[in-house]
Amino acid sequence: MNDRTTRPAPAAHHTLRILALLSAQRGPIAASTIAHALQLPRSTVYRLLGVLEEHGFVLHFPEERRYGIGIAAFELSSGFMRQEPLTRLGRPILSALVDRLGESAHLAVLHGRDVVYLIEERAPRRPHLVTDVGVRLPS
């Protein structure tokens, strides 16, 4: 391994942790909550949130003093959905299964100890599934 792959990049690491935390929330949260949850200095969190906001990955709601996921994060995830072969190959199979059984279904992948839901196919006149696409839950 060369120096570049073994040397940590703390700013990148912290930025990704902030995005992961924000994406797991039901709504926008305060910077102080982010700092506390990730055990980071507030000044670091504010600087990183500023960069993320500038690039559209984070939205700032000043009247609420909260931050949430921005449209650029959605665009990034949409790129994954377009490129992910499992999604492209799985949708027709899942659709056929739903048609055959008359029940709604999800396609999910195991990621570490969690399950991430990639596709949802709804059967007509059946209740909605409890979990949304893109949600990560313990397996």
- What residue spans in the chain does CATH classification 1.10.10.10 cover? 3-70
The whole-model pTM stands at 0.66
Q: Comparing C-alpha atoms, which of 67, 36, 33 is closest to residue 50?
A: 67
Per-block mean pLDDT, blocks of 10 residues, the chain (139 long): 65 95 94 97 97 96 96 83 77 90 85 82 75 72
d(CA 68, CA 37): 15
Tokens 């949304």: give the residue: 132
pLDDT at 1: 45
Question: Domain spanning 3-70: which CATH class is it, in words?
Answer: mainly alpha
